Structure 1
Amino acid sequence: MRQHDIRNGRDVKLEGGGRQRHPSGGAKEMLIGLEGVELGADGKTVSYTQFLYPTNALGGRRNTIDSTSSFSASRNASHRSLSLGRANSNQSSVDTGNDLGEFREYDPNLLDDPQWPCGKHKRVLIFPSYMTTVIEYVKPSDLKKDMNETFKEKFPHIRLTLSKIRSLKREIKKLAQDECGYEEPTVAMAFVYFEKLVLHGKLNKQNRKLCAGACVLLAAKIGGDLKKHEVKHLIDKLEERFRVNRRELIAFEFPVLVALEFNLQLPENEIMPHYRRLLQTS
């Protein structure tokens, strides 16, 4: 059986189980995927034209934070939130079935909410003229456990703990900003891509590092005009930092792009909160 690869226009051979063997011959077969992302397996042809916009709609826009507001007005006119149930996926990665309607509007402050670590240990005292919050001392391990339990109750469809999500974001920042020298806007874009995948239940233990690496790779390409050797250097760093196979990482970039509905140009209100926090911690 043969299938046409929509990414590079060549035919690839499919074996009996529906797994795709790359023409290179020695590549590892892809078993990790994203729920709701249809790539045309089993001989199907999938169109992504509903995610695309005419080239002239971009109007000479530049990839900077200051210019994102001019594009966001036209983009918001036909804004579509991420919808994981758009396609019926046969991939074996995940199986949720949760109603994600209330999480379709992305909030850049949600996962970085400073109230999360407080949990049940927080006490709010209200007085006639002011209100104050007191947080009792608690062991870091107990605080972490309580935070993750509270997070799981609020977001049952997310299969990663909040502490693990924040740990992955720290890895993204350390790699992109400290090791590769990317500026805060690029790191902020990677955070937005990553958090959108998280909030829509895309991540699990198997694909979390590939998702994080693909988000950094996409943000770096959008944030600057990378040369070939710069892309290779970034992939080398991602492979080392996240301990993933470079072939899987490169192959995972397109499913993440589809999961984000090809919407890599972000409005200012989604980037700026992350950008400000990055400046404060620099």
Structure 2
Amino acid sequence: SNMNETFSEKFPHVQLTLSKIRSLKREIRKLAQEDCGYEEPTVAMAYVYFEKLALHGKLDKQNRKLCTGACILLAAKISNDLKRPEVKQLVDRLEERLRLNRKELLSLEFPALVALEFKLHLPQREIPPETRPDPQNPHQNSWCSVFKCTVCFVSYTPCK
């Protein structure tokens, strides 16, 4: 499609098409929210991690499912203070839903951390604007709109 072409011209080092990235983000949402019961902030973090890995040219056809799993795992750990049994339960679910090998998934967690430069607590400016809590209306659940947003690549500088 036209959008995929424009996208690959703008981000030539990203190895997946825009449509594929969007469909994987839908999968992240379904997995994290519907299958695992995490709140929107966890999903938004997993999105940002996933996009950063894509932007740094770390995602490809071979590892996309593993990266999807690793992003959910990292986001869930950082935003939910998971205990060991909960981590095991999450890994079981990711393994089953994404049809992954658990060893491979766990062995990708550290390289993903390195690729994200260990920056898991996201500064406000990196959270897609439409997902930031609204200071005027703090009780409104403004995270929801992250799911409607297109790829939030605009706020990142692609690596050379």
Deviation of 1:273 after TM superposition, in Å, equals: 2.8
The reply on whether 1:248 has 2:113 as its aligned counterpart is: no
**Cα-to-partner distance string for 1:77-98 (whole Å, 9 max, x where unaligned):** xxxxxxxxxxxxxxxxxxxxxx
Q: Which runs of 5+ in 2 are unaligned?
A: 133-141, 149-160
Deviation of 1:274 after TM superposition, in Å, equals: 5.9
For residue 34 of structure 2, the aligned residue among 155, 168, 178 is 178
The reply on whether 1:191 has 2:47 as its aligned counterpart is: yes
Distance 2:21 2:12 in 1: 14
Distance 2:39 2:84 in 1: 19
Contact 1:184 1:275 in 2 (8 A): no
For residue 279 of structure 1, the aligned residue among 124, 144, 158 is 144
Contact 1:159 1:204 in 2 (8 A): yes
Structure 1 residues 274 and 214: alpha-carbon distance in aligned structure 2, compared to 1, 3 A threshold: farther
Deviating above 4 A after TM superposition, structure 1's stretches of 4 or more consecutive aligned residues are none
**Cα-to-partner distance string for 1:56-92 (whole Å, 9 max, x where unaligned):** xxxxxxxxxxxxxxxxxxxxxxxxxxxxxxxxxxxxx
Give percent identity, aligned residues only: 71
For residue 227 of structure 1, the aligned residue among 72, 80, 83 is 83
Q: CA RMSD in A?
A: 1.8
Q: How many residues align?
A: 138
Distance 1:214 1:274 in 2: 24
Output the TM-score relative to the length of structure 2: 0.80
Deviation of 1:166 after TM superposition, in Å, equals: 0.5
Contact 1:185 1:271 in 2 (8 A): no
Counterpart of 1:156? 12
Higher relative contact order (CA closer than 8 Å, sequence separation 6+): 2
Which amino acid in the other structure matches residue 264 of structure 1?
L
Which amino acid in the other structure matches residue 177 of structure 1?
Q
Output the TM-score relative to the length of structure 1: 0.46
Per the alignment, in what secondary structure is the counterpart of residue 65 of structure 2?
A: helix
Per the alignment, in what secondary structure is the counterpart of residue 156 of structure 1?
A: coil
Q: Which runs of 5+ in 1 are unaligned?
A: 1-144
Contact 1:188 1:274 in 2 (8 A): no
Deviation of 1:173 after TM superposition, in Å, equals: 0.5
Deviation of 1:241 after TM superposition, in Å, equals: 2.2
Distance 1:234 1:274 in 2: 28
Higher helix share: 2
Distance 2:108 2:15 in 1: 19
